[in-house]
Amino acid sequence: MANYRMKAKYLNPFTDFGFKKIFGEEACKPLLIDFLNALLPQADKIIDLTFKNNEQLGQTDLDRKAIYDIYCENEKGEKFIVELQKAKQNYFKERTIYYSTFPIREQAEKGEWNYNLKAVYCVGILDFTFDDYETEPEKSEVVHTIKLKNQNGKTFYDKLTFIYLEMPNFKQLENQLETRLDKWLYFIKHLEDFQTIPTIFSDEVFSQAFEKAELAKFGQTELASYENSLKIYRDLKGVIDTAFDEGKIEGKIETAKSLKKLGISVETIIEATGLTKLEIEKL
């Protein structure tokens, strides 16, 4: 890791540590608000957020360990889940939909209740591409916004929104950035490679983001935590990207074996392969 320290000036935002350092701390709320507002329509803009990560949601121990990277609520009581997906996993869309049920169910009131729900937004930042688009380059969009619609394409329910960002599909250069979202995607995708701050990031929000991400400002404890997070990210991504073979049990088993040798937790292996705890323990 010593060579890495000398080369990189800023952290990798696709690591658990890096993602939460930039977007998940109380002092970073202006960054998260700015990022989410860049994703949302003008009518849905956020004024303030409250972090709710400490709340214990979910019905099982695995649920409670897994959720969420970032969970917050705006001034109108609307809920936002922001998840970082580092490597291709089985059923990751299903997992996002499953998690969206928790902030829906927590709104239930005791006694008489009219079922009037606050909106829920689930944002997934993906460090990989959807399989169904890999063979169709013309469909390689970056932003996918999904709502419940009927057979005529009309929105049936507008208070549940899933937004997936396929980061590998974002290929704009600095001189091609036009929107606020373009700037955030460029920042996230290339942060680890920057040696100086590009001139396009001149405002206060991005200045704060670069300051939070600068490795030289970390103490020894923070740096050690980050380097451990970086190692896990590289090991997990490397193994899954090379061994993952969706739909074939042999591929899942080989992936699980490799992750187990790396010391990756059983919970993470379950997420990555879809195998059960018992199946993994038998390997």
* 52: in domain: yes
Mean pLDDT of 238-250: 58
Give me 29's structure tokens.
Answer: 């709320």
Among positive and negative, which fits the CA dihedral 124, 41, 74, 15?
A: positive
Q: Mean of the per-residue pLDDT values for the chain?
A: 84
Mean pLDDT of 35-53: 91
Among 14-23, 36-45, 54-63, 68-77, where is mean pLDDT lowest?
Answer: 54-63
* 238: in domain: no
What pLDDT shows up at residue 218? 94
Among positive and negative, which fits the CA dihedral 104, 109, 112, 113?
A: negative
Mean pLDDT of 56-80: 72
pTM of the model: 0.80
Cis? peptide before 233, omega within 30° of 0: no
Q: Report phi then psi at 55, rounded to 5.
A: -70, 135
* 80: in domain: yes
What pLDDT shows up at residue 7? 78
Are 35 and 184 a contacting pair, CB within 8 Å?
Answer: yes
Among positive and negative, which fits the CA dihedral 237, 241, 247, 250?
A: negative
Q: Whose structure tokens read 């019905």?
A: 59
Task: Report the share of the chain in percent with pLDDT over 70.
Answer: 83
Among 11-25, 35-49, 100-114, 227-241, where is mean pLDDT lowest?
Answer: 227-241
What pLDDT shows up at residue 233? 86
What pLDDT shows up at residue 74? 95
Mean pLDDT of 259-277: 76
Helices (H), ranges, the chain: 2-7, 16-23, 29-39, 61-66, 92-105, 131-134, 180-190, 204-213, 220-243, 249-261, 266-273, 277-281
What pLDDT shows up at residue 261? 79
* 26: in domain: yes
* 19: in domain: yes
pLDDT tens digit sequence for 75-125: 999 999 998 887 776 677 888 888 888 889 888 887 778 888 999 999 999
* 227: in domain: no
Contacts of 147 (CB under 8 A, 6+ apart): 155, 156, 157, 158, 160, 161, 162
What pLDDT shows up at residue 65? 47
Q: Which of 263, 264, 225, 243 is nearest to 15 (CA)?
A: 225
What pLDDT shows up at residue 211? 96
Are 154 and 138 a contacting pair, CB within 8 Å?
Answer: no
What pLDDT shows up at residue 240? 65
* 111: in domain: yes
Q: Which of 190, 183, 33, 188 is nearest to 126 (CA)?
A: 188
Local confidence band at 6 (pLDDT 50, 70, 90 cut-offs): very low
Domain that holds residue 116: 8-217
pLDDT tens digit sequence for 17-38: 999 999 999 999 999 999 999 9
Report DSSP letters for 184-200, one per residue. HHHHHHHGGG-SS--TT
* 268: in domain: no
Q: Whose structure tokens read 């952290």?
A: 11
User: How many structural domains compose the chain?
Assistant: 1
